[in-house]
A and B are shown apart, each in its own frame.
Chain A
Amino acid sequence: MTQQIFAYITHKNGTADDSALELIVAAKKINPGGASVTAIVCGSGPELDSVCTAMAGIYPEVWKISNPLLSYPNAEINRGVLVNVLPAGAVTLIPHDTFGMDLSPGLSIKQNVPFVSDVVGIDGIDGTSLKIIRQEFGGQVSTHVHCDISAGAVLNIRSGCFQPDNSKAAGTVVDKSGQAGDCKAKRRFVEVVAAEVGDVDITKSDVLVSVGRGIEDQENISIAQELADAIGAVVSCSRPIVDAKWLEKARQVGTSGKTVKPKVYIALGISGSFQHLGGIKGNPFMVAINKNPKAPIFQVADVGIVTNLLEFVPELTEKIKEMK
């Protein structure tokens, strides 16, 4: 393949996101023959400079795009910048986070190149047809997707799927700010409102009893609470429970909720979407109780029980109480 591969670097407070280390690994899978991979960093001020310096230690070339209007990422503005600076045929890798989801579909249209979202694996290239692995139905099944990248492509890469490989480079930083364009947008950033603080801080508990859709009814939350009380744990939950307003947002574990680092995590009726698992760090001892044996949570849990939790968990709680 003759095209250049680009990696879009997201960063905050002068530090690049971990995805920067994963995108270069994904790029090498697309072109194992030693791709020339260029990092693109948009931003402003000394924070931008420190990210660019750090990236030059990993990527052979870093394109720096500096403009005060890029100080907070705005997908519409950044899209315009990318359309202006990227050469024809560019294959652009972007982290599949809330910014990448905002940016990439529209970018692919403006560049008139194919887009593949939420890539979890790359299975080689056949001519110009890239063989990509994705998941559907909340991770219950996987698919192979073929994408012709001869004219370029935009690929959103899921975090945690490409293990960082200690890539080192003595890269150069090239200032491309002059090509950024006018940085105008019909959407204007106002502020970030911090997540609400709940009455319980789930990030401070060593043991979490976490409930998902399988709890079925708001009244059944008490089943989880009673187990938590018996073992000295705190109740957390997955997204559908917050959407249904059965528990407050501050109890939600996941990429759109809290990141937790417990020693023990007991998942009751949680299917195990990657957004939920993304909020669990530190490799806790994980117990999954779910009636669906195909639930993805059983792939990552240490111990699994395939059963109706509404019957089993009260029995378990009773036994623990008797024991005490």
Chain B
Amino acid sequence: MNITASDAILLAHATFGVTGCLAALWVFVEALNAQPGNGARIRTAAFVTALSMAAAWLCGGYWYVHFYPADRILILKGPWPFAHNLFMETKEHLFLITAILAFLLPVAAREKLSSNAVARKLVLAVAGLIVITGLAVEGSGAIIEHGVKVALLRGGSKGDR
């Protein structure tokens, strides 16, 4: 078995991203049934969301700066150049929106959701947006990795089917 630092960091990035999405979904479900009894759980899940997205940001950022340039060259020479030109270019900026929303969530979750309908609505909106944009970012990551794979598998056969 040969797991490189690049592999470990990339997988950690995706794992933290999925954990952040799941934690945001947890906040969403708890907020749907907000009561005085689950306020602490909502705040904990919101904090886990922010922490996971921060970790995904650090791992992804380190990998993007240090390891992605080689993959980019492969993708652009392969049959799926849009994996970089569209999906990576969009992902690297869309993720920043997800991260900002993840940092907003713990602030919004400090409100008394059980007695404040508008605060509950805000938390539902922010958590829902994190799940939607986070899943879009995760899907983009899969397409980018597939762009590398098809470039390696079909190397030198650009356009062949």
Instruction: Say whether A and B bind each other.
Output: no
Query: Interface of A with B (CB < 8 Å)?
Result: none
Query: Interface of B with A (CB < 8 Å)?
Result: none
